[in-house]
Amino acid sequence: MIAVKSHTYRRRAGYFALILAFSFTGLRASAQTVAELPDAPQSNAGQSSGQQIPPSPSPPTQAQPSQTPAPATPSTPAQSSSSSSQSPSQQPGAQETQKEKAAEEVKEQEHQRVEGVVPTFNVTYHHDAAPLSQGQKMNLSLHSALDPFAFASAFLEAGYHEADNDLTGFPWGPSGYFERSGVAYLDTFDGTILSTGVVPIIFHQDPRYFRLGYGPVRHRMLYALSTSFIAKHDYTGRWEPNYGNLLGNLAAGGLSNLYYPSSNNSFGLTISTFVIQIAEGEGGTVFNEFWPDLSRKFLHKDPTHGLDAQAAAEYAVEKQRKKQEQDEKKQQQQQTTPPAQP
C-alpha cells in the first residue's frame, strides 16, 4: 500500500513538473514576443469601440467654425442645438455599428467546432474583430461552459481519475464516479466563467484568442503560448497582462477547495488546479492556431473561409514594404557616406 501511494505521488509530481515547465515556457514566450505583438492582429477597438469609448477629439474641431466668429452676436439656439445634436447622433451610430459587427462575429464563433465536435467558441479569425460588450462576453462564456462537450470531458476525466484512483476522499463505484464527474465539471465551469467572463469584464479585456494565421511557425507558436499571459484591452487594443486568464483561473483553483473532499483541500490543490488550467489553455491556443492549417491540408476544409489567405496576402505586402524601406535606407546611407580618403 505504501509503495502504491509513493508511486502515485511520484507520478503526480512528475505530471506537475511537466505542466509547470509548460507554463513557464509560455511565460517566457510572452516576454520574447510582447514587443512584436503590436504588429500581430490588430482590432479597431481604439478607433470606435462599442463600449463606453470616450468621445473622439474630432467633433470639437468640427464645431469650432461655428464658435470662432467674434462674439458680436450670441449663437442662436438653433445653432447650438444643431452643433450639439450632431456629435451625439454620430457616436451612437458608430457604437451601434460596432455592436452589430461584434454580434455577427460572436454568432459565427458560436458555431465553430473542430469536425463538428470540439468547440472553439473563444477563437476569432478576424484580425479587426470588434470588441465585445459585457453581455456578449458573459453569453460567450456561458455558451462554452454549458456546451455538451464540457460535460463529456468531465465524464472522461472522472473515468481516468477513477481508474487511477489518484484523488482520495471519493468512494469507489458509480457514486464515486459521478462525484468525480461533478467536481471535474465544476473545475471547468468555474475556470471558464471567471477567466473568460467575469474577470475580463472587470478589467475591460477581450477574452478571445486572436488567431495569427500567418508568418513563420516558430513565431506563431510563441505567439500562441504568450496569449495565456497577455490580452488585448477593449478600448485601446493594446496588449497587457491577461488578468482574466491568470486571476480567473487562480480564483477557480481557490473555489475548488469548497467542493473537493477535505482530504484534498490545501494550498497545493489551488496551485495545481491553477497551473493545470493554464497549461490546458496553452495547449488549446497552440491547437487553435494550427488547426485550420491541418484542416486545409488533410481534410481540404478551410475553417477560416478565406480569412487566412487574406491575412497571408496582407502579411506578404507588409513584408515587401518593409524590405523596400530598408533597401531605400541603405541606399541613402551609401549616398550620404563620403568616400574613404586614400
Judged by average pLDDT, the poorest of 60-64, 120-124, 176-180, 265-269 is 60-64
pLDDT for 174 beyond 70: yes
Is 102 strand, coil or helix? helix
Q: Supply 172's cell numbers.
A: 469507489
Residue 69 lies in a domain: no
Residues paired with residue 230 on neighbouring β-strands, in sequence order = 241
Residue 41: pLDDT band with limits 50, 70, 90: very low
How far apart CA 308 and CA 211 sit, in angstroms, is 10
Residue 113 lies in a domain: yes
pLDDT for 49-90, tens place per residue? 344 434 433 434 444 444 444 444 444 444 444 444 444 334
Q: How high is the pLDDT of residue 91?
A: 58
Q: In this structure, what DSSP letter does residue 66 have?
A: G
Q: How high is the pLDDT of residue 342?
A: 59
Residues 124 and 105 sit within 8 Å (Cβ to Cβ): yes
pLDDT for 101 beyond 90: yes
Judged by average pLDDT, the poorest of 15-19, 184-188, 202-206, 262-266 is 15-19
Q: How high is the pLDDT of residue 167?
A: 76
Residue 132 lies in a domain: yes
How far apart CA 21 and CA 23 sit, in angstroms, is 5
Q: Supply 89's cell numbers.
A: 447622433
Residue 300 lies in a domain: yes
Q: Report the pLDDT averaged over residues 336-341.
A: 68
Q: Report the pLDDT averaged over residues 100-114.
A: 94
| Total count of domains within the chain | 1
> What amino acid occupies position 104?
E
* Number of neighbouring beta carbons within 10 Å of residue 118: 15
The more confidently predicted of residues 2 and 294 is: 294
The more confidently predicted of residues 154 and 23 is: 154
pLDDT for 138-169, tens place per residue? 999 999 999 999 999 999 999 998 888 777 78
Q: Which of 93, 89, 102 is nearest to 44 (CA)?
A: 102
pLDDT for 115 beyond 50: yes
3-state helix, strand, coil in the chain (%, to 5): 65, 5, 30
Residue 214 lies in a domain: yes
Beta strands in 95-138 (DSSP E): 113-114, 118-119, 123-124
Average per-residue pLDDT in the chain?
Answer: 79
How far apart CA 281 and CA 275 sit, in angstroms, is 10
Q: Report the pLDDT averaged over residues 310-330.
A: 90
Taking each helix axis as running N to C, give the angle between helix 174-193 and helix 267-294, from 0 to 180 degrees, rounded to the nearest 10: 70
Residue 68 lies in a domain: no
The b-or-e profile of 122-145 (16+ CB within 10 A means b, else e) is bbbbbbebbbbbeebbbebbebbb
Residue 75 lies in a domain: no
Residue 94 lies in a domain: no
Domain that holds residue 166: 2-39+102-324
pLDDT for 218 beyond 70: yes
Judged by average pLDDT, the poorest of 12-21, 38-47, 88-97 is 38-47
pLDDT for 4 beyond 70: no
Q: Report the pLDDT averaged over residues 22-37.
A: 51
Judged by average pLDDT, the poorest of 46-50, 120-124, 216-220, 300-304 is 46-50
How far apart CA 308 and CA 44 sit, in angstroms, is 19
CA 23 centroid distance within chain: 16
Length of the chain: 342
Residues 210 and 41 sit within 8 Å (Cβ to Cβ): yes
pLDDT for 181 beyond 90: yes
Q: How high is the pLDDT of residue 65?
A: 40
How far apart CA 44 and CA 294 sit, in angstroms, is 29
- Identify the residue whose cell numbers are 487553435: 288
Number of H helices, E strands in the chain: 11, 7
Q: How high is the pLDDT of residue 164?
A: 83
Measured distance between the N- and C-terminal CA atoms of the chain, rounded to whole angstroms: 87
Residue 201: pLDDT band with limits 50, 70, 90: very high
